[in-house]
Amino acid sequence: DKVNNAPPVGSGIATLAVVLALILTTARGVAPSANQRPIMIGLIGTALIILTDILLISPVSSATATFVLMAIPTAIALYGCRTAVQRLASNELIRVVFPPLVLIVAVLGSILGGITNPTPAAALGAAGAIMLAAYRKLHDEGGSGKVIINSTLAVVIMILIGINFDLRINTTEVSAESWAAFFLAYAAYLYAGFGLLYACWVLYRTSVLSPVVRETAKVTSMVFTILIGSQLLNLVVISFGGEHYIQQFLKSYDSEFQVFLIVMLVLFVLGFVLDFLEIIYIVIPIVGPVIYGGTFDPKWVTIMVAVNLQTSFLTPPFGFALFYLRGVAPKEVTTGHIYRGVAPFVLIQVLGLTLLWFFPSIVTIIPSLIPN
């Protein structure tokens, strides 16, 4: 049944096709008057990747057959991507914006495509950010970034091999193709690791990595301090029966809408003086059983709470966005100007909450289309 109900296009192939198409179409828009033949060849290769997966590859196809069938269409698509990357690199705006965008798509695509789970994807994102920063630094210094680019290609090779081959070599019988794929993936892994170490050395040599590590350690320690402190506070509140009294107070109302409205108002007011982390770890565990235990759709409740907490980034005096703006604003722009200027954006957030309140289908329509 699983074979018969398998989708016509694999999630990994779909993710690869989307990334390739994004690169090629963006390059075409950057230089519309240039020779578009390589770009069109790359788009044809991308289309052939999808058609090959639909027409020639089945869920029971071997890894070798899949790799061989996909080799030619992928090579055609990469031929176009080579020209596309050169055009994108010649545009200053694209050179700054596009690499982080590709990194975000790669991290989220690896999770949604079933290639990896969130933990390795987070490591992939961190390593990609380090390599991007090192490449940018080398480019500014007039150095060569070939090691960084080749390391990125090594990561792509590892992902493609991992998708198409069984790399478990501790089984009873291991085929020759699996051994070859394993050694090739291991070589790519070593080169990618070397590229990452080289990128770290470049950033450390230019005094970029050390302050970033220190700031990351500060933020991480702050988050864990908040987490530990909130759990201790929760234990104290529960031990004195505070959680029970709050839940009983909320349950005393007959209308679920009244209860949820009170909770939303409390979260909105707390956003003025508390960070969203404190609210999540302290308040939500107390009111969660009440607001999630009713007849409301849990997805709608979660999005409502998330949008409400997002407002805490803008509300004075402790909104994160206000601190960031204060740090880059000129001296003639006072804190009062910032507080008054952020008011319309807070109203936009409130308007968004109002729309979600009266039209819950905005939240629930897409999840309802996804099969369980």
Estimate the crossing angle of helix 63-90 against helix 37-55, to 10 degrees: 160
pLDDT of residue 67: 75
Listed residue (197, 196, 199, 219) closest to 208, CA to CA:
199
pLDDT exceeds 70 at position 3: no
More confident residue, 262 or 145: 262
For the chain, percent of residues with pLDDT exceeding 70: 94
pLDDT exceeds 60 at position 261: yes
For 371, list phi and psi in degrees, rounded to 5.
-65, 150
pLDDT average, residue stretch 178-203: 90
Burial class of residue 159, CB neighbours in 10 A (0-12, 13-18, 19+): buried
**Residue tagged 């050179």 (tokens):** 95
pLDDT average, residue stretch 41-47: 91
pLDDT of residue 371: 61
pTM: 0.59
pLDDT exceeds 80 at position 134: yes
pLDDT exceeds 60 at position 210: yes
Predicted confidence (pLDDT) per residue in 304-332, tens digit: 999 988 887 888 777 777 777 777 778 88
Distance CA 20, CA 158 (A): 17
Helix (H) or strand (E) holding 201: helix 176-205
pLDDT average, residue stretch 211-237: 81
20-29, 90-99, 231-240 — which one is most confidently predicted on average? 20-29
Burial class of residue 29, CB neighbours in 10 A (0-12, 13-18, 19+): exposed
Lowest mean pLDDT among 85-94, 278-287, 299-308: 85-94
DSSP letter, residue 279? I
pLDDT of residue 197: 93
Structure tokens at 117: 């789970």
The answer to whether 279 and 271 are in contact (CB under 8 A) is yes
pLDDT exceeds 80 at position 166: no
pLDDT average, residue stretch 110-135: 82
Question: What is the chain's mean pLDDT, rounded?
Answer: 82
pLDDT average, residue stretch 49-58: 83
DSSP letter, residue 360? T
More confident residue, 47 or 89: 47
pLDDT of residue 40: 92
Distance CA 107, CA 118 (A): 9
pLDDT exceeds 60 at position 2: no
pLDDT of residue 6: 59
pLDDT average, residue stretch 261-269: 89
CB count within 10 Å of CB 26 equals: 17
More confident residue, 177 or 264: 264
Distance CA 115, CA 163 (A): 7
Listed residue (276, 265, 254, 249) closest to 357, CA to CA:
265
> Count of residues for the chain?
372
Amino acid of residue 246: I
pLDDT of residue 254: 80
- Residue 355: band (very low, low, confident or very high) from pLDDT cuts 50, 70, 90: very high
Structure tokens at 270: 């707390």
Between CA 134 and CA 143, with CA 140 as vertex, the angle to 5 degrees is 75
pLDDT of residue 63: 67
pLDDT average, residue stretch 131-155: 85
- Residue 294: band (very low, low, confident or very high) from pLDDT cuts 50, 70, 90: confident
Lowest mean pLDDT among 22-26, 56-60, 78-82, 280-284: 56-60
